[in-house]
Structure 1
Amino acid sequence: MDPREYRDARWHSLLRAAEDLGVDPEAAPGLVEQVLVREQRRIRRAEDPDPLVHAALADAVLGPPSPVPREHGRRRLAVAGLATALVAVGVVLALTRPEPPPTDHLRADQIPSLFGYDGEAARALLEKRGLEVSLRPFRSCEVRDRVVASAPAAGAAYDRGDRVVVYTALPADVSCLTDYGEREVAWQLLDFANGHGRAPAFAPQVSVYSGDAPREVLTGAAAADPDAWRESGVLEALHAASSEVELVEEHPLTYAVPAVRVVRASDGFGTCAAPDPTTAGPADVITFVVRSADRTGCPLRLEVGRDDDRRIESVTLYPASS
Structure 2
Amino acid sequence: MDLQDYRDARHRRLVEMATELGVPADRAAAVVDRVIEDQRRRILRSADPDQVVVPALREEVLGRRSRGPLLAVVVLVAGVAAAFAVAILTGPPDREKVERTSATVPALLGLTSAEAVSELGRAGISSRVDPVPQCDPAGQVLGSVPPSGDTVRLDEVVVVMATATPSWNCPADSAARAQAWAFLRFLVSGSASPRLAPEVRLYVDGKSAGTADGTHAAAAPDWRWRVRDPVVAYAVRPVANDLGQPVVSITSGPPPPTTCGLPTTIPAGVADAPTRVVLTVSGAGPGDGPDPGCQLTIDLFEDDHGGIVVVSLTFPGGSRLGPPAWVLARDDRDALDD
TM category, shorter? 0.5 to 0.7
Query: Match of 1:184, SS?
Result: helix
Deviation sequence 1:122-161 (CA, Å, 0-9, x none): 1111001101223343433433111235344445431234
Q: Quote the residue 1:62 is aligned against.
A: none
Query: Paired residue for 1:317, among 310, 313, 317?
Result: 313
Matched, 1:186 2:180: yes
Q: Quote the residue 1:129 is aligned against.
A: 123
Query: Paired residue for 2:222, among 224, 229, 239?
Result: 229
Matched, 1:167 2:155: no
Change beyond 3 A, Cα 1:291–1:281: farther
Equivalent residues of 1:267, 1:274 under 8 A apart? no
For residues 277-288 of structure 1, the aligned pairs below 5 Å read 277-279=265-267, 283-284=271-272, 285-288=274-277
Equivalent residues of 1:130, 1:161 under 8 A apart? no
Q: Distance in 2 between matches of 1:277 and 1:198?
A: 26
Q: Distance in 2 between matches of 1:230 and 1:203?
A: 14
* Matched-pair identity in %: 23
Q: CA deviation at 1:287?
A: 2.2
Q: CA deviation at 1:281?
A: 5.8
For residues 125-164 of structure 1, the aligned pairs below 5 Å read 125-164=119-158
Q: Distance in 2 between matches of 1:113 and 1:220?
A: 26
Q: CA deviation at 1:215?
A: 4.1
Q: Quote the residue 1:41 is aligned against.
A: none
Change beyond 3 A, Cα 1:282–1:131: closer
Q: Distance in 1 between matches of 2:147 and 2:218?
A: 33
* CA-atom RMSD in angstroms: 3.1
For residues 19-98 of structure 1, the aligned pairs below 5 Å read none
Q: Distance in 2 between matches of 1:150 and 1:214?
A: 36
Matched, 1:292 2:281: yes
Q: Quote the residue 2:245 is aligned against.
A: 257
Paired letter, 1:195: S
Query: Match of 1:183, SS?
Result: helix
Q: Quote the residue 1:304 is aligned against.
A: 300
Q: Quote the residue 2:195 is aligned against.
A: 201
Query: Match of 2:121, SS?
Result: helix
Paired letter, 2:179: V
Equivalent residues of 2:206, 2:264 under 8 A apart? no
Query: Match of 1:137, SS?
Result: strand
**Structure 1 length-normalised TM:** 0.55
Decide which moves more: 118-127 or 275-284. Answer: 275-284
Equivalent residues of 1:287, 1:303 under 8 A apart? yes
Query: Paired residue for 1:240, among 233, 236, 240?
Result: 233
Equivalent residues of 1:265, 1:303 under 8 A apart? no
Q: Quote the residue 1:117 is aligned against.
A: 111
Query: Match of 1:158, SS?
Result: strand
Deviation sequence 1:71-123 (CA, Å, 0-9, x none): xxxxxxxxxxxxxxxxxxxxxxxxxxxxxxxxxxxxx8343343332101111
Q: CA deviation at 1:238?
A: 1.7
Q: CA deviation at 1:280?
A: 6.5
- In structure 1, the gaps of 5 or more residues are 1-107, 249-253
Matched, 1:275 2:236: no
**Structure 2 length-normalised TM:** 0.52
Equivalent residues of 2:202, 2:311 under 8 A apart? yes
Equivalent residues of 1:300, 1:321 under 8 A apart? no
Q: CA deviation at 1:162?
A: 3.1
Equivalent residues of 1:265, 1:278 under 8 A apart? no
Paired letter, 2:193: A
Q: Distance in 1 between matches of 2:280 and 2:308?
A: 23
Equivalent residues of 1:267, 1:273 under 8 A apart? no
